[in-house]
Structure formats: structure tokens, C-alpha cells
Amino acid sequence: MRAILAAVSVLALASACQPQAPAAPAAIAPGPTAYTDLQKRLIEAKPGDKIELAAGTFDFTDGLSLDVDNVSVTGAGQGQTILSFKGQTGAGEGLLVTSNGVTLSDFTMQDSKGDGIKSKGSDGITFKNLTVEWTGGPLATNGAYGVYPVESKNVMIDGVTVRGASDAGIYVGQSENIIVRNSRAEFNVAGIEIENSTHADVYDNVATKNAGGILVFDLPNLPVMGGHSTRVFRNQIVENDTQNFAPPGNIVANVPTGTGLMLMANKNVHVFENTFDKNKTAHVMVIAYSSEYDDPTYNPLPRDFVIRDNTYGEGGNDPQGRLAPLAPALGGSLPAIVWDGVTRYGEKGDKTEEVRIVVREKPEVGFINLGLGTTPPDLTKAKPSTERLPDAQIEEPAAVAMPGKEGA
């Protein structure tokens, strides 16, 4: 009897001591309870959790949200795990992230009614190997932004494809410390947009078949202004020829179809080693913010820009939008680099500061200064000149690195 008891207790001890790793929760699979299963997991996640999505198509009718730090959401691969929001009836986006240290990877999101994936106020947000697309092609009824970090910092966008956004495919707004790389933006109004943000590196991306390839903007009347220190390099910015389909009223509705890179207001932007080709309005456009605004703290001028060592193919041969009327006087086409020549602003046009636009390109690369002088510009007062501004030493911002991770 005693022996039996002893044996039982040894067995009990042995089984209690068996090192058993807690079973990882199974990947969530498509099905009638998938939405509730996933949203519950997102709500009840603990920091460090990895939430897996199985292959297959998930049909969701409501938006998802994550508000727990240090959680990753991973699918079985782009085109394998598909989150379809075609039947969405609620929420302003497909997935909203409001926590820190979040990684989203390896899935496709389709047809969200509003934005695709938004992160707001996140410190540490990684979008890796994702596709966000609207499957009906470029339509004004598509959602505004595909990948949409805003008021966030330490933003990594790597290996992401966005198609069909009615504003910007990859849009980073009012954020700091940003990398956008190895990504593809096509058939959007704007391919990639960095807006009212600081310290952004945009490199090794392909922006094609958008109305405008890449935009770097600074806009008034926003909580975060004074965008600066962005580098745009080694990108393929080619064949951006999709007719602008943005709903009027939005700033990107003003981007002329066929623009390669548009730089508006902002400070200390460096553009180098990119390949531009077949952008029919212009490859590079540098302009002041030209709409009326009421914001005394805002500077609408582009300042301290360096454009160097890029490769330019054909382009500017069929200018669209508001600069089109100038083309006939310039022989019907615009050169590779167009600057509006605005150096003064304010109600009386008397506010200014030194505007340095450095073009360090081969002599045959075309440049025009439209000499518009003040904003809002009056195109009838253009004084075009092909003379480049004096060269200047403008220090390039250091490479952006993510804290605790490999950087550029």
C-alpha cells in the first residue's frame, strides 16, 4: 500500500515537473466566428503575444483594433492570408492600432471602406510584407490611405505593396523617425507621402502608375507642422500616369497627373540616386504651399533642398494640371526639375527667408525656375529662368535608425 502511494506521488511529481511549454494558441482560421475570435484575441492580448492568422480569405464586416503594446499580428503570407472588408458596415478603417511596439506582417488587406491600416500615436510600429489594396482598381470611392501611421514615431514600413488608395498608398503624417523601404506603391493618387513629419528615409521603393509617385509635404492648420529632414533615395519613380482620381477638396487632388516627386513647403529634403522615367508632367516639382490659409505659424516655402545624382529618362513631355498653361511658352514641355521660384509669403508677400534649392546634377539635366516670387502665385507673372541657384553646403540628415533594431 505504502509502495503504491509512493509510486503515485512520484508519478504526480514527475508529471508536475514535466517541462511543458504552454501551448501557443492556434492560428485563427477563416469562418463564421473569425471576426469575434480575432478581435477578442486583439483585446485580451498580453504584451509579447504573437497572434497568427491562417491562410485563407477572411470576410469581415467591421473594423479591427489593437490597443495592447508589443503584440505582433502575422499571417501566412501576402496573398495567402486575405482580410477582405468588402462587406464592411462599421469603423473608419480596416485595422486601427493605438499601442506601441506593434508588428504587422505577412497578410493582405482588401477593400476597406475607409483607410486600410492606421496607427495613431504609436511608438514603434512595423508594417512588414503586407499588401493593402482596393480590388476594383483606382476609384474615388476607394479608401483614402492604405498604410497610415499618424502622430507616431519609430515607424518602419518594409516590403509593403499598396494599390488603389484614393489619397496616398503609403502615408506617414505628423510622425517622426520613419523608414519606408523595399515597398511598392501603384495605382494610387499619391504613391508614397511623407507629410508634416521629421526624419524620414524613403529608399529602395518603386512608385509607379500613380498620379504622383512620391510626395513630401508640409501643410498648415495641423497640430504637428514644420516637417524637415527627409531623404528620398534609390527609388524607382517611373511611369506615374494614372489620371488623378482623388475626391476634390483633398490636397492630393491638386497633384498633376504624371508627377514623379513633388516637394511642397518643408525643410532639409535630400533627393539622390533615384531613377525617374516617363513622368509626363515633371520628374521633380518643388513648390510652395499655394492655397489660402490662416495660420501665422506656418512657413509655406521649401527650404534647404538638395537634388543630386539622380537618373532621368524621358518626361515632362505632356504636362498636366495647373502648370500645363506654362508649357507652350517653354516649347511644350517641362524640364526634369521644376521650381516655382516662390521666396516670399504672408498676407503682404513680405515674409521670407533664404531659400536654398541645390541642384547638383549633370549639366544636361533640365531645370526651370518659374520665378513666381510670392504665394499664392499668379501664373501670369511667371518669369522663367533655366539658371540653377548657387550650390550650397546643406548638411544631409543622418540615416534613420529604429531604436534597438538594425537601421538603414
Partner 1 sequence: MNRPPPLHPSPQGGGGARRTVRAFLGIAVACVLAACTAEQGPHASIILADDAAPKLSDYGFFATPNAGAAVSEGVRPYDLVNALFSDHAAKHRYVYVPKGQSAKYDPNNVFDFPVGSVLIKTFAFAPDMRDPALNERWIETRLLIHKQEGWVAYPYIWNAGQTEAIYAPVGGKQTIETITPDGQPITINYAIPNRNQCKECHQTGKELIPIGPKARNLNHVGPAGVNQIADWTERSILTGAPADLPTVPAAFGDGALEDRARAWLDINCAHCHKADGGASNSGLFLDWHETDPTGWGVHKRPTAAGRGSGDNMFVIEPGHPEQSILLYRMDSTEPGVVMPELGRTVIDPHSIELIREWIAAMPKQTQ
Interface residues with partner 1 (CB under 8 A) are 36, 39-40, 42-44, 62-63, 65-67, 88-92, 96, 98, 112-115, 120-121, 140-145, 148, 150-151, 166-167, 171, 173-174, 219, 221-224, 247-251, 291-295
Q: What are the residues whose beta carbons fall under 8 Å from the beta carbon of 263, sequence distance 6 or more?
A: 215, 216, 217, 269, 271, 284, 285, 286, 287, 302, 305
Instruction: Give the residue with the Cβ less far from partner 1, 225 or 402.
Output: 225
Question: Rounded to the nearest whole angstrom, what is the least distance from the CB of residue 51 to partner 1 in the complex?
Answer: 14
Say if CB 340 and CB 372 are below 8 A apart: yes
Query: Comparing C-alpha atoms, which of 389, 388, 384, 375 is closest to residue 325?
Result: 384
- The 8-class DSSP code of residue 315 comes to B
Question: What phi and psi values does residue 251 have, to the nearest 5 degrees?
Answer: -60, -35
Instruction: Give the residue with the Cβ less far from partner 1, 92 or 371.
Output: 92
Q: What are the residues whose beta carbons fall under 8 Å from the beta carbon of 400, sequence distance 6 or more?
A: 177, 178, 179, 199, 200, 201, 231, 407, 408
In whole angstroms, give the CA distance from residue 363 to residue 392: 17
In whole angstroms, give the CA distance from residue 37 to residue 45: 12
Question: Rounded to the nearest whole angstrom, what is the least distance from the CB of residue 129 to partner 1 in the complex?
Answer: 25
Q: Which residues on neighbouring strands pair with residue 46, listed in sequence order? A: none
| CA of residue 194 relative to chain centroid, distance | 6
Instruction: Give the residue with the Cβ less far from partner 1, 39 or 333.
Output: 39
Question: Rounded to the nearest whole angstrom, what is the least distance from the CB of residue 166 to partner 1 in the complex?
Answer: 6
DSSP letter string over 342-367? EEEESTTS-EE----EEEES-TTS-E
Question: What phi and psi values does residue 399 have, to the nearest 5 degrees?
Answer: -60, 140
Question: Rounded to the nearest whole angstrom, what is the least distance from the CB of residue 170 to partner 1 in the complex?
Answer: 14
Instruction: Give the residue with the Cβ less far from partner 1, 39 or 182.
Output: 39
Instruction: Give the residue with the Cβ less far from partner 1, 223 or 331.
Output: 223
Question: Rounded to the nearest whole angstrom, what is the least distance from the CB of residue 117 to partner 1 in the complex?
Answer: 14
Question: Rounded to the nearest whole angstrom, what is the least distance from the CB of residue 284 to partner 1 in the complex?
Answer: 25
Instruction: Give the residue with the Cβ less far from partner 1, 66 or 368.
Output: 66
Query: Comparing C-alpha atoms, which of 277, 260, 357, 360 is closest to residue 311?
Result: 277
Instruction: Give the residue with the Cβ less far from partner 1, 166 or 198.
Output: 166
Question: Rounded to the nearest whole angstrom, what is the least distance from the CB of residue 221 to partner 1 in the complex?
Answer: 5
Angle (nearest 5°) at CA 229 between 225 and 232: 115
Instruction: Give the residue with the Cβ less far from partner 1, 151 or 241.
Output: 151
Question: Rounded to the nearest whole angstrom, what is the least distance from the CB of residue 111 to partner 1 in the complex?
Answer: 11
Say if CB 183 and CB 172 are below 8 A apart: no
